A and B are shown apart, each in its own frame.
Chain A
Amino acid sequence: MAEIPKEEFLLPTTSACAGCSSSLCLRYILKASGPDTVLVIPACCTSVIQGMYPKTAFQVPVYNIAFAAAASCASGMSAAFRALGRKTKVIVYAGDGGTVDIGLQALSGAFERETDFLYICYDNEAYGNTGMQRSGATPVGARTTTTPGGKTHPKKDIELIVEAHRPPYLATACSAYPTDLFQKVKKALAIPGASFIHILAPCPTGWKFPPGKTIEVGKLAVKTGMWVLYEREYGRLAISAPSKGAMTRPLPLTDYLSTQGRFAGITPEQVQELEGEIARRRERLLREVE
């Protein structure tokens, strides 16, 4: 296992909420990519985490761009660095709204054109920075400020959409397993072309759990199979170590749901619907690895 550098590229004491999993992810992502990196960020929680002008919380350049435009901006930037003969890594770091909803067209175009970049979606399953409105990535039954009775539509499967573009590297990660995330970022950046990493990023503010429980909630997501850690290198699927247990002996889903206030009003039918989704995905992935 590669040693994780001590060097930090996200300075301590940012304006992130207490218990923010995204700041943890950013630390490990930048440790993996090193200083010759540009982060391209659309409107998202990281727009806040970076701090206000004239200060920045990052030790790498951060390029802010309009909500729908992260992947296309990164396309141009990557082409420009290559034209200049530079190997600078271009990483889009976007939330779920900026990825599965408003940024989807640009994302699709950039992957179709095999842009040399890494696109990371940190998914807190709602529009966090504007105060937790529903996104296409919000799961069934979750309360948000625009789904006060709980969301009635299932979560959009962005991984299948990206997979349809046949990227050379696609992986999932979770902030509760930063070493796994570190290794996946390393691998993604070593492979030329367009790579995608989808991170589940538990959000104490929006999901309504105590800030001290961020890691515990993330681990329960993985152990119940609500979130599966895997990677696809040139299409070939491998289940990541932290998810292996849940592929055969998952914990009851309610262990995960009961940790969060957003699921307080979930109906038994919606729990069944989620369990059905989890089982179908598990079977699909197991069939593929066997």
Chain B
Amino acid sequence: MHTIATGNRGVAEAVREAKPGVIAAYPITPQTEIVELIAQFVAGGTMAGTYIPVESEHSAMAACIGASAAGVRTFTATSSQGLLYMHEMLHWAAGARLPVVMANVNRAVAPPWNVWADHTDSLSQRDTGWLQVYVATAQEAYDTTLMAFRIAEHEEVLLPVMVNLDGFVLSHTMQPLETTPAGDFIPPLHLPHAIDTSQPAGYGPLTGPEYYYTFRWEMERSMRDARQVIREVEEAFYQKFGRRYGPSEEYRMEDAEVAIVAMGTLGREAQVAVDRLRGEGIPAGALRLRWFRPFPRLDLAGREVVVIDRDYSFGFGGVLARSLQATTPCEPYSVIAGLGGQEVTYADIAGFVRQRRPGDEYWFGVDAGV
């Protein structure tokens, strides 16, 4: 069905298609529409799951953990402070190997209060063992949420997945959305370690130094295997629905000598900047990174790289720029732009490329342009 919908509705419609047994959520701007829609679907009988209106985000994730451990598909959504409040339970969900799916509507971290787009909330959760994906359109939010369940629940993954979408610029803007019955795209959940009272076991008990690291290694092995599973699920999705994304979306990269790397909506804005730069004779291309965990293996050899970070790791640098530098030989021009919803246009992005100085860091709006 073709509609016009917000990014938030895209997520909620996909969750309805995925038919989770338990949804536990707490409201927070700008995510609230997702939980409101799901509550309405459940109340209206178009969705069969149990909606648990918890009293905090810490409890939202704890309830998802309890439900998932019992072998039921679960979903929650949050943003910013809510995600930070969940932090302890994010580690728990991943360590307990539970395929919880969560939408995080990216929003800045306080203080000062700011409800607009920023990736520091989710990027500061990058070591929790969650897969992380960043989307850029309402359609992609819908499609990726559907794929997230199948990836998380895959027997070689069994790790939680966080689908990230930019606050307001994506969560609240209306875009075309095609929804289709998911049919058998997501197979029934089979959790091999679901609680079974006829096979009593201890879950997460005290584990000594002689065993603990083996569980951590198992998580990393699954995170590595997830790269192949993501490719397979994206291909299966393409076969069924005709839309393809991949670990990252490349735009005019074949002959590009300068690559603009970004995540989320700024990654789409960069494509417009590429067209403008090409018109000026600058052979630019754009690479919008979708999956941040597991981090992709990118080949940027022989290209200049301009990375836009809508986040910051204090005392270190832009998280995306530094992650890229650590995983592929490159000397990025690191641009810090769009924090807390700071307006960044394609013209601004084209300007970042024109003024690039490999190895430098540039704070948009703070440092003087070149």
Contacts and interface: CB of A to CB of B under 8 A. Distances in A.
Q: Do chains A and B stick together as partners?
A: yes
Interface of A: 35-38, 40, 47-48, 50-56, 58-66, 68-69, 71-84, 88, 105-106, 108-109, 112-113
Interface in B77-94: 88-89, 92
Given A77-B67, A80-B21, A113-B53, A72 B203 contact: no
A75 B202 contact: no
B207 A52 contact: yes
B201 A56 contact: yes
Contacts of A50: 202, 205-206
A178 to B, nearest CB: 22
Contact of A80 (B22, B60, B198, B207): B22
A84 B200 contact: no
B63 A66 contact: no
15 contacts: A38-B195, A48-B206, A60-B200, A66-B89, A69-B62, A72-B62, A74-B66, A76-B24, A76-B62, A80-B22, A80-B50, A82-B50, A84-B21, A105-B56, A109-B54
Query: What range describes how many residues of B lie at the interface?
Result: 35 or more
A56 B205 contact: yes
Contacts of A64: 202-205
A64 B62 CA distance: 11
A72 B205 contact: no
A72 B70 contact: no
Nearest to A73: B66
Contact of B55 (A37, A66, A79, A108): A108
B50 to A, nearest CB: 4
Given A63-B203, A63-B204, A73-B62, A79 B92 contact: no
Given A82-B50, A84-B71, A113-B53, A106 B202 contact: no
A54 B204 CA distance: 10
Contacts of B53: 113
B79 to A, nearest CB: 19
**By CB atoms of chain A within 10 A, which of B56, B64, B69 has the most?**
B69
A185 B64 CA distance: 27
B327 to A, nearest CB: 32
A72 B197 contact: no
Given A62-B202, A79-B50, A80-B67, 11 more contacts: A50-B202, A51-B202, A54-B211, A61-B196, A63-B195, A68-B88, A69-B89, A69-B92, A76-B70, A80-B66, A105-B56
Given A66-B88, A73-B62, A80 B55 contact: no
B74 interface: yes
B203 A76 contact: no
A52 B208 contact: yes
**By CB atoms of chain B within 10 A, which of A35, A36, A82, A83 has the most?**
A83
A162 B206 CA distance: 30
Contact of B197 (A38, A40, A69): A38
B52 interface: yes
B70 A53 contact: no
Contacts of A54: 211
A129 to B, nearest CB: 10
A51 B72 CA distance: 28
A66 B62 contact: yes
B321 interface: no
Interface in B15-33: 21-22, 24
Given A75-B54, A84-B70, A106 B206 contact: no
Given A65-B92, A76-B65, A83-B72, A113 B205 contact: no
A106 B59 contact: yes
Given A38-B195, A75-B24, A77-B70, A58 B202 contact: yes
B22 A65 contact: no
Given A61-B195, A83-B49, A106 B70 contact: no
Interface string B90-111: 0010000000000000000000
B24 to A, nearest CB: 6
